[in-house]
Amino acid sequence: MFFRLFAIICFGVISNFSFGQEECTCELAISKQKKEIFSKRDSSQVFPLINSYKTSGTESCIYQALVLELEYYHTRKNIKEISEMLKAQERMLSFMNCNDEFLFGFYLNKTLFFKVQHDFEKLSEFAFKALREAERLDDEAKEIEAIKEIVFLFTRLNEDHKVWSYVKRAEKLIVKKNNPIQSISDYRWLGYQYETKYTKTNRETLLDSTLLFINKAKPDALKHKVYDELALVYRALEAHAYHKGNPKEALKYIDSSIYYGKRIKGEKNLSGLYLSKAWDHLDLGQLEKANKWMDTSLFYDNKTDIAGYMMLQHEASEIYAGAGKHKKALDSYKVYSKMKDSILNTERLKVVSELETKYKTELKDAQIKRLIILLIVAAFLIVGILFIGKMIQLKRTKQKSEALQLAFEKQLQLEKELADVRDGIAQDFHDDLGNKLARISLLSNLVSGEATLKTPSVKSKIKQITEDANGLYNGTRDFIFSLKSRSEYLEEVITYLSDFGQDYFSNTSIKFKVEKKIDTNVKLPYYWNRHLVYIFKEAMTNALKYAQCSLVILRINHKDNELQMDCEDDGKGLNEEDLKSSNGMYNMKYRAEKIGGELKVKSLRNKGTTLSFTGKTKL
């Protein structure tokens, strides 16, 4: 390696004296780029081109050979070789007459180097140097490349408020370009950015823009057979279909993405595509297939991108949990947490501990069930022995009676614990299924009043009834939501309840509003998320079912660790007897007390009802 670099640099020094007045561009590289597209991953294409640059006799082409070789090693995440190429570039720039023309490329290559190393401080330094150099050169194509790296930086640092302004700046430059080949990756990149923004805001117009930009990239990618870009294009189409609620179509797109991904020559990592396929199967309820493709994703990941592998383990924990593979979920989350601590120096031990506790609880529940069966069998045996043995001896009878009493006390304690678990399950079913059944009941009443079933309005109501019936099978979404670590944050709970309310009241005459004032996106105490969701879903159900209202407001206030959540309607109100006899109201108050909060109900005749929860988010 050393002798190869030494030879290149020596040749550059000699060329400097011979071609001091040459142009600062490599005409050979420009003509090659205009005539053909080549993969920087494929060594059979890259190294012959490198050799032609080296033998051209011009220092600009020799330098271009170093750049191309660095880009090849970057696709392989080979830090050692990238470092050597950067050193060679820096030495050559020190004696080139027109080194200013190559500064942008050098800064961008340094950015790529520190990107692979996950050194975000250095990445930031050289990404902004590259951007300033592109602005100095007034080169919009270079400016776009620099902005892409800055967007990557702020995305990894979770500074979303900075990301979008740079994305919009790049978009203005991209739509002005008239280079179909370069536009393939640019429009595909824009599509990904809009899809990412949608996942954070749920704005439907962002999905439309995603599809627009991806469809701009797709035709030229197919025309020129750019397989790495085609794989990413179909991956974006899969994401679009997934967000639109069409997992079967998403599955077809991801299969196309994998097909083109396998046709990429040279180094490639298709684990992300297998990951998307696993998500699609999970969304379709195909749990074993989801588990299989998640295993495949982990198996084929080449682990050269440490941060990427870290996030792969994080998503693996969620997929395995959704597929019921809790041991695998725990193992993946431990790997993710350990890697994240080493990369970003963050503490995730609490989350790992909670996931491990859930896994151990499942094992303990299974052991308790077996123990209950054994105790019941033992109790019957003891009773049988007592009846068969009758009154053998007074002392022996007394000892056996004491043993029997102890066994029955243990049995009663275990039966009480089991009853509590069953009561909780029954309560959850009431809270979830009751919501949908209320709407089904209401719509059935409307249908029964129609003159004929052939009218469009009747068909619409029947369709809504069918959708609500299907919704009953999706009741476990609340449980899956509560498993995710992000669901413990207040903003996530608000978003979840807001989405539920918008959907729930969408086909009614009731207007639904959300008002929130929160000082920070606080992490809620353990198990709050699940109980708050059930309390306020029940409250919204009651408003639709009984209140005869025209407006429902979900109001959230959080300040100084004090959380207050209200569900207010302008309906007919409730009397004291209704409040006391309501099983649903009893369950909501029980849930509030279970998490250390307080639930109050204020109701006036013809002025509406307000249900208020208050609690301390930090004790």
Amino acid at 122: K
State the pLDDT confidence band at 35, using cuts at 50, 70 and 90: very low
Segment 379-437, tens digit of pLDDT: 888 988 888 887 788 888 788 878 888 877 887 777 566 545 544 554 555 556 555 65
Q: Please, what is the average pLDDT of the chain?
A: 80
**CB 375, CB 367: distance < 8 Å:** no
CA distances from 306 to 106, 256, 342, 495 (A): 24, 27, 10, 31
State the pLDDT confidence band at 21, using cuts at 50, 70 and 90: very low
Q: Which residue has the tokens 């500074």?
A: 159
State the pLDDT confidence band at 475, using cuts at 50, 70 and 90: low
The per-residue pLDDT for 350 is 42
**CB 489, CB 523: distance < 8 Å:** yes
**CB 464, CB 519: distance < 8 Å:** no
The per-residue pLDDT for 553 is 95
Helices (H), 449-489: 456-471, 477-483
Beta-strand relationship, 562-569 and 608-616: antiparallel
The per-residue pLDDT for 471 is 60
CA distances from 108 to 75, 105, 138, 187, 603 (A): 15, 5, 16, 20, 65
Residue 522 is given by DSSP the state: P
CA-closest candidate to residue 515, choices 481, 482, 558: 558
The per-residue pLDDT for 613 is 96
The Cβ of residue 589 has, within 10 Å, a number of other Cβ atoms equal to 20
Of 214-228, 290-304, 573-587, 605-619, least confident by mean pLDDT is: 573-587
**CB 553, CB 539: distance < 8 Å:** no
Query: Does the CA dihedral 66-68-74-75 come out positive or negative?
Result: negative
Q: Which tops the pLDDT comparison, 570 or 181?
A: 570
Q: CA 565: distance to chain centroid?
A: 27
Token digits of residue 300: 């084929």
Helices (H), 573-619: 576-581, 583-594
CA-closest candidate to residue 314, choices 291, 338, 290, 332: 332
Segment 130-172, tens digit of pLDDT: 998 898 888 998 999 999 999 998 888 778 888 899 999 999 9
The per-residue pLDDT for 351 is 39
Beta-strand relationship, 551-559 and 511-518: parallel
pLDDT at 4 over 60: no
Cα separation, 487 vs 588, in Å, equals: 20
Annotate 268-306 with three-state secondary structure. CCCHHHHHHHHHHHHHCCCHHHHHHHHHHHHHHCCCCCH
State the pLDDT confidence band at 14, using cuts at 50, 70 and 90: very low
The per-residue pLDDT for 147 is 93
Tell me what the mean pLDDT of segment 338-345 comes to.
66
The per-residue pLDDT for 562 is 93
**CB 468, CB 443: distance < 8 Å:** yes
Angle at 186 between CA 181 and CA 187, to 5 degrees: 95
The per-residue pLDDT for 446 is 63
Tell me what the mean pLDDT of segment 104-121 comes to.
85
The per-residue pLDDT for 391 is 79
Amino acid at 136: R
Tell me what the mean pLDDT of segment 289-310 comes to.
85
Token digits of residue 102: 């190559």
Query: Does the CA dihedral 549-512-584-577 come out positive or negative?
Result: negative
Q: Which tops the pLDDT comparison, 92 or 258?
A: 258
Segment 253-272, tens digit of pLDDT: 999 999 998 888 777 788 88
The per-residue pLDDT for 397 is 79
pLDDT at 441 over 60: no
**CB 53, CB 64: distance < 8 Å:** yes
pLDDT at 289 over 90: yes
pLDDT at 179 over 80: no
Q: Is 115 left (phi over 0), alpha (psi -120 to 50) or beta?
A: alpha
The overall longest dimension of the chain from CA atoms, in Å, is 119
pLDDT at 348 over 50: no
DSSP string, 135-157: HHHT-HHHHHHHHHHHHHHHHHT
Question: In a 3-state reduction of DSSP, which class is residue 384?
Answer: helix
Q: Which residues contact 77 (CB under 8 A, 6 or more apart)?
A: 116, 304, 305
> How many helices, marked H, and strands, marked E, lie in the chain?
25, 5
Tell me what the mean pLDDT of segment 566-582 comes to.
84
pLDDT at 191 over 50: yes
The per-residue pLDDT for 34 is 46
Question: In a 3-state reduction of DSSP, which class is residue 612?
Answer: strand
Whether the predicted model's global pTM rises above the 0.85 cut: no
State the pLDDT confidence band at 64, using cuts at 50, 70 and 90: confident
Tell me what the mean pLDDT of segment 29-36 comes to.
53
State the pLDDT confidence band at 566, using cuts at 50, 70 and 90: very high
pLDDT at 15 over 50: no
